[in-house]
Amino acid sequence: MDPWVVFDADNTLWEVESLYDDARRSMVEVLAARGIDRFISEEIQQAIDQNLHRTLGYSAQRFPESFEQTLVYFFPNASNQEREQIRAIAEQVFVRPAVAHEALNQVLTALQASYKLGIVTAGERWVQESRLRQFVYQNQFDAIEIVPRKEVATFVAFARSNSIDTVRSWLVGDSMRSDIIPGRSAGFNCILVRSHNWHRVERASMTLPSDVYEVTDLSEILSIIPVKIN
pLDDT digits (tens, 9 = 90+) for 140-157: 999 999 998 899 999 999
pLDDT of the residue at 204: 52
pLDDT of the residue at 60: 82
pLDDT of the residue at 196: 58
How far CA 31 is from CA of 68, 83, 91, 100, in Å, comes to 12, 12, 17, 32
pLDDT of the residue at 4: 96
pLDDT of the residue at 229: 59
Superfamily of domain 4-15+98-223 in CATH is HAD superfamily/HAD-like (3.40.50.1000)
Exposure letters 20-39 (e unless 16+ CB within 10 A, then b): beebbeebbebbeeeebeee
DSSP string, 54-72: HHHTT-TTHHHHHHHHHHH
pLDDT of the residue at 184: 94
pLDDT of the residue at 206: 65
190 by Cβ neighbours in 10 Å (0-12 / 13-18 / 19+) ranks as: buried
Say how far apart CA 205 and CA 132 lie, in whole Å: 31
HSE-up of residue 39 (Cα within 13 Å, Cβ side) = 0
pLDDT digits (tens, 9 = 90+) for 78-120: 999 999 999 999 999 888 888 888 889 999 999 998 999 999 9
Residue ranges per structural domain of the chain = 4-15+98-223, 17-94
Entry pTM: 0.82
Regions of the chain where pLDDT drops below 70: 195-206, 229-230
How many Cβ atoms are within 10 Å of 60's Cβ, its own excluded? Answer: 18
pLDDT of the residue at 190: 96
